[in-house]
Structure 1
Amino acid sequence: MSDSTPRPSVVVVGGGVAGLNAALYTARAGFETTVVNAGESILRRNGHLENVPGFPAGVNSRTFLDLLEEQATEAGADLVTGEVVSLRRSEGRFVADTAGDEAYAGDYAIAATKSNPGYLDGFDLDRDQHGSKTYVRADDRGRTDVAGLYVAGRLAAEPHQAAIVAGHGAKVGLSVVEDSDVPYYHDWVAPEGYFTGRGRDVPPGVEEIDEGERAERERDAMARMREAFDERHPEEPTMHPSVADDADE
């Protein structure tokens, strides 16, 4: 995307695994991305996360979430704290209003909270009720009946598993990009010559890097991972609220 091309914007409600992965993909595609998060992800209740790809011995869920936040931020997403009490349309954009009287706007909106969609009451959306949980109906790419409004993760009735909602969040983020007018092929870092060596232009969203750049990025990645896993995470798992309440009595 050239500097003269206006960047689309997206507001993501919910900063858990699904929301952060959606934000990662929109931010990397050049969208102005704001993630509004009311509190800690439910994944921080996990004792030890043992079923996400790439961690054969498992991973501390709080470390995992910290890294997701860092990754989204470094891609360009803006993470802010606030409880979204309503999502509405104003002058052709989506506006997320918070309990603290802040407002965050975007050309697109992704609802990625767990299963509490009261802030979406201003839209005519089909919903499914399963016990105490409410889900919003959408297609398999997270598109709702409201143009430009998407749902990701648990709110879209995806299984309550980190790897699954991570993938769904990424898929929804890509849906936003692909549904926009932004030229886009894949989010991919390719070795130098992969496209240009065949006389092709590097497609939108793709980057070619030479051997020196590849080695530097790999060294940086190794150093970041060593730092992240050098010591145990200082925070303990968050206990279920009902257990915590009983302990206080």
Structure 2
Amino acid sequence: MRDVCIVGGGVAGLAASIFTARAGLDTIVVDAGGRSPPSSRTQSGDGGESILARNASLENYPGFPDGVDARRYLRLTREQARTAGSEFELGRVTSTEPIDETALEAGFVLETAGGDPLEARRVIAASWPDSEYLVPLDVGRIKRGSKHFVSVDEAGRTAVDGVYAAGRLADEPHQAIVAAGHGATVGLAVVHDSDANFYHDWVTPEGYFTGRGREVPPGCEEIGEDERLERDERARARMLEAFSEPLDEEPTMHPSVEGK
């Protein structure tokens, strides 16, 4: 059984997966990959797309003064999630039910189209706009026009213990930076609720804590100057490689426009 199953490989789901995986929770992201019908779960998950992939350019994400290709941003975020320890599978979740109705801490079983069921102790729904798989659970779906949203508290918890919602599905604004932030908030809520030994994501200069007679807190790390320079070199080399050439393919068009 997995610790966390995240349904949806967009910005919110990816951000949540980075936090849960880095905290040591066994995390899997299931994404339909923008396909209709979705591809089999047996594939690697590299082809997953979020609605952001329809953007010609992502313009309001901090850290990119002149904007960034939204598809490249998604690829790098997915790579970061993998580096953190998340696993990916392509497919569409069709239903989610408790393993034991009388004991939600036993986890949930997620049925998938064309694949084996998945079991997870906690579920994060980040699959805008699809939430039909949550119907078997009384999570508080709210219909607004043709779309459904999921009612959550300030940390993304639904009315069902162990089930969370992140990003647009949780009625957050349709902005990438907001989705990423909310996904991180939900990921941290899952970490907190699971009692994982996770404190922060600080990597500090050597002596930052120990120089004050303190132990380095869980989730933190002190590194020396040589290690800092090595990490900086590695990070810069990866960014130079990632942005060395433009992406060949074009942005994904809205389904209503395709074929015209």
Instruction: Give CA deviations for 1:183-213 in whole Å, capped at 9, x if unaligned.
Output: 3221221111111111111111111111111
Gaps of 5+ in 1: 1-6
SS at match of 1:164: helix
Whether 2:200 is the aligned partner of 1:186: answer yes
Contact 2:6 2:123 in 1 (8 A): yes
Whether 2:75 is the aligned partner of 1:66: answer yes
SS at match of 2:59: coil
SS at match of 1:244: coil
Q: In structure 2, what is the Cα distance between the partners aligned to 1:95 and 1:172?
A: 20
The residue aligned with 2:221 is 207
The residue aligned with 1:89 is 98
The residue aligned with 2:177 is 163
Higher alpha-carbon deviation: 16-25 or 207-216: 207-216
The residue aligned with 1:42 is 51
Gaps of 5+ in 2: 34-48, 101-105
Contact 1:34 1:104 in 2 (8 A): no
Instruction: Give CA deviations for 1:28-80 in whole Å, capped at 9, x if unaligned.
Output: 11110000001121111001110001000000001000001100001100011
Contact 1:135 1:155 in 2 (8 A): yes
Whether 2:235 is the aligned partner of 1:221: answer yes
Whether 2:117 is the aligned partner of 1:103: answer yes
Instruction: Give CA deviations for 1:63-120 in whole Å, capped at 9, x if unaligned.
Output: 0000011000011000111111111221511222210132222211100011221000
What TM-score does the superposition give when structure 2 sets the normalisation length?
Answer: 0.89
Of 18, 25, 46 in structure 2, the residue corresponding to residue 31 of structure 1 is 25
Higher alpha-carbon deviation: 20-29 or 231-240: 231-240
Higher alpha-carbon deviation: 192-201 or 51-60: 192-201
Q: In structure 1, what is the Cα distance between the partners aligned to 2:17 and 2:198?
A: 16
Q: In structure 2, what is the Cα distance between the partners aligned to 1:154 and 1:115?
A: 8
The amino acid across from 2:139 in the alignment is: L
RMSD between superposed Cα atoms in Å: 1.3
Q: In structure 2, what is the Cα distance between the partners aligned to 1:94 and 1:227?
A: 40
What TM-score does the superposition give when structure 1 sets the normalisation length?
Answer: 0.93
The residue aligned with 1:18 is 12
Of 52, 76, 87 in structure 2, the residue corresponding to residue 78 of structure 1 is 87
Contact 1:62 1:235 in 2 (8 A): no
The amino acid across from 1:37 in the alignment is: D
SS at match of 1:79: strand
